[in-house]
Structure 1
Amino acid sequence: MFNNIDIESDFKYSPKDKLNQSNTIISQLLYYLNKYKKFVFAIVSLVLISLFTNFPLIPHLRLTSPKVVIILAANEGGGVLKWKGAQEWSIERSSIANKKDYAQRHGYDLTIKDMTLKKRYSHEWRESWEKVDILKQAFRQNPNAEWFWWLDLHTYIMEPQLSLEEHIINNLNNLTTRQLNDFNPLNIKLDAPYVDYENNPIDLVITQDCGGFNLGSFLIRKSKWSETLLDVWWDPVFYEQMHMSWEHKEQDALETLYELLPWVRERIAFLPLRKINSFPQGACSEQSDDPRYFYNEDDRDFVVNMAGCDWGRDCWNEMEHYKAVSKKLQTPWYKFW
């Protein structure tokens, strides 16, 4: 009855055969890896360099493409370039955690840039221009993002429940001004030709404080215009010719570009300082009675920028104070007090 059945055919691929077959495949794979090891090593190196350093040789791999990328300037890790004390570590941890929580809540991307690397610019007199170079890198690393939000380390997001879209981006035209008619602390003279603001979108959103343009917290949209602006802003003419004259370096460079070039002005808009950049008491001390500058708890200002706290103030105490205020404001029972 069973004489016609080929028993061996039912066990054509025995466990031993399967093991041999697997070994053959592995041997072939190892052969090709060894044959093309230089090519494989180069590809792996490029991927690692792109993903884990400031050199974006290929776009970072992502499952999604966030609309907003937050860039936080930090000194993550310290090291031989700057030994940090306990309070400095605490400030950094608090600032980074604040931005990580905010980015995660709203589906944004967060990239942390180690500012100790700024020493590599010293021989070119552009030690304060690293902000521009980092923005150029971020554009390349995030080709599908639309907006980039730069934040200095000594900033704290006080109202994390507010998305950037809700707070600013979706209502840019109503929240911003395009000219300096109402607030011009530097008395910038604009005698250049007419600029058509109405037919040009807003690509750079900044604020002004008592010293002029403030770049501690600002938004820039990725566009051909912004890429061109960064290229011009990074031009050697500025840092080679003017590095001894401009006290605020990259800020002074942007102010000069704004004043001299109509095509730069046409896509820059100004937010009130407290919309994205509120100061603590002690900053802009000569304007201590002007409510346009300083954080107001009752108005629930969005961000505090402790600008200049390391020049005669206490950065750690200020950070701890605003952390506590933000925590209090987010508690459900606060509104009943």
Structure 2
Amino acid sequence: MGSGSTFWGSDGGGGGDGGGESRSTSPGPALPISRSHSPLPTSRASSISNGGGGGWAPKSAANGYAPASGARRFLGKHLRKLSTSLPTYNRSTATGFTPTTPYYRGGGFFGRMRGGMARKPRTTWVCLLLIVSFLYVFLHLHHNPISNRLRGVSGGSKFVIILAANQGGGVMTWKGAKEWAVERDSIANKKAYAERWGYHLEIKDMSTKKRYAHEWRESWEKVDVIKQTMRQYPKAEWFWWLDLHTFIMEPSISLQSHIFNHLQNVTYRDINVYNPLNITHPPSKEEFFYIDEVAKSAVGDDRGESINIIVPQDCGGFNLGSFFIKRSEFSERLLDIWWDPVGYEQKHMEWEHKEQDTLEYLYTHQPWIRTGTAFIPQRMINAFPPGACSETPDDPRIFYSEKDRDFVVNMAGCEWGRDCWGEMASYRKVSERLNSGWWRKHF
């Protein structure tokens, strides 16, 4: 240093000519080298040289501020809590960047989602459960365009259920409270089943067919309705006719899994397997000498692709309370002949069961119809309750079995001396009990 400069704790008279400065050994004024370590803000610091006054003033006095009031201390504490609760940026382990770098990208939406799931696992599982429940209800239970589009991929749009109903009242008689209740339950049953599997449902109001009443064709219009429905659904393949007094007992079973995925295995072509009408089969070669070999065979060509109509048989013959018919040239020809006025005008007094007797007559006298006709065990699509088919009350092939969980029950003939509403209500309760989940059975 230059001459005349002083150094704290050193003598100011060091010679500049010696090229160096030395610490002074002579006694000088005392310098404070220590402060009191007392934690009290009012403690005094003493000089080590003379132990005299010269104490330290309080911190607030030294800074020139007044002591903080209680309100200010409370506000400061509140602001500190608020600042600690604000979100902070952490180093991103996924990208290796921090918010201070210009290339920081963070974890994005999925990163934030993973972080939230890790912080609140219980809330995450509850939200996932709610989402799954909503999708199940929206796509599986309700009738909406999205569910229909998804089910259409599985082939549900190829099936049309035709339900005969008299929503406006009967042609010959008025409907009472029980008749309305039967109709309501039957329609609800078919609607729920069709919506569940994505099938089309066409409810045909037979009361609009009063123009047939003067021709004694109140039941014959079934053929005309099928033709109309085929025109209405040009892309559908199979049409399932159901009478009003039918009830689907197993709604969890689709038509594909029940019948059409293995059609040839669940049907039979040879009527001799069960032949209550004693129809001669195969056709007599002497009487029908002009038919080909396929028509002469008892099983036709024995291929599932050639099946165009599926009919169950009860104790009295063909039963059309529940049957299937396929869109094809064969079916168009059959329906035209079936609906021909020449037939009903000449035979309506002889054919007690109308359209059923007509089909039996055509099957017997027109061998070509046999090549496209298949029969199905009655209990697969048309089981009877006790009281129907009184001629054979113990036949296990006809009556509904709760143990075997038959697919459909048909209260055929219940309007003649039986209680249609009582039977349908009873089978509805059975179906609900058999198909309810464990929560319905135990609670």
Q: Quick check: 1:197 aligned with 2:288?
A: no
Shift of 1:303: 0.1
**Map of 2:69 onto structure 1:** none
**Map of 1:135 onto structure 2:** 226
Shift of 1:123: 2.8
**Map of 2:212 onto structure 1:** 121
1:274 maps to amino acid: R
**Map of 2:411 onto structure 1:** 306
Shift of 1:81: 6.5
Shift of 1:161: 0.5
Q: Quick check: 1:294 aligned with 2:385?
A: no
Post-superposition CA distance 1:223-267 (Å, at most 9, x none): 111111100100111101111111111111100111111211101
**Map of 1:263 onto structure 2:** 368
Query: 1:173 and 1:75 mapped to 2: Cα distance?
Result: 35
Q: Quick check: 1:99 aligned with 2:190?
A: yes
Question: Is the CA contact (8 Å cut-off) linking 2:171 and 2:207 kept in structure 1?
Answer: no
Shift of 1:335: 9.0
Shift of 1:85: 1.5
Structure 1's 79 and 207: CA in aligned 2 closer, same or farther, altered over 3 A?
closer
Query: 1:255 and 1:326 mapped to 2: Cα distance?
Result: 33
2:276 maps to amino acid: P
Q: Residue 283 of structure 1: SS of its match in structure 2?
A: coil
Structure 1's 280 and 76: CA in aligned 2 closer, same or farther, altered over 3 A?
same
1:42-81 matched pairs, under 5 angstroms: 66-78=157-169
Question: Is the CA contact (8 Å cut-off) linking 1:154 and 1:306 kept in structure 2?
Answer: yes
- 2:353 corresponds, among 227, 248, 261, to 248
Structure 2 residue runs of 5 or longer lacking an equivalent are 1-147
What is the percentage of aligned positions where both structures have the same residue? 63
Query: 1:126 and 1:93 mapped to 2: Cα distance?
Result: 25
CA RMSD across the alignment:
2.0
Shift of 1:77: 3.4
Q: Residue 336 of structure 2: SS of its match in structure 1?
A: helix
**Map of 1:217 onto structure 2:** 322
2:301 maps to amino acid: Y
Query: 2:426 and 2:271 mapped to 1: Cα distance?
Result: 34
Question: Is the CA contact (8 Å cut-off) linking 1:197 and 1:267 kept in structure 2?
Answer: no
Q: Residue 247 of structure 2: SS of its match in structure 1?
A: strand
Q: How many residues align?
A: 275
Post-superposition CA distance 1:137-170 (Å, at most 9, x none): 0010000000100000000000001000110111
Query: 2:165 and 2:171 mapped to 1: Cα distance?
Result: 15
Q: Residue 218 of structure 1: SS of its match in structure 2?
A: strand
Greater strand share, structure number:
1
Shift of 1:126: 2.5
- 1:156 corresponds, among 236, 240, 247, to 247
Shift of 1:117: 2.7
Shift of 1:197: 2.7
Shift of 1:80: 8.3
Question: Is the CA contact (8 Å cut-off) linking 2:315 and 2:392 kept in structure 1?
Answer: yes
Query: 1:80 and 1:247 mapped to 2: Cα distance?
Result: 18
Structure 1 residue runs of 5 or longer lacking an equivalent are 1-61
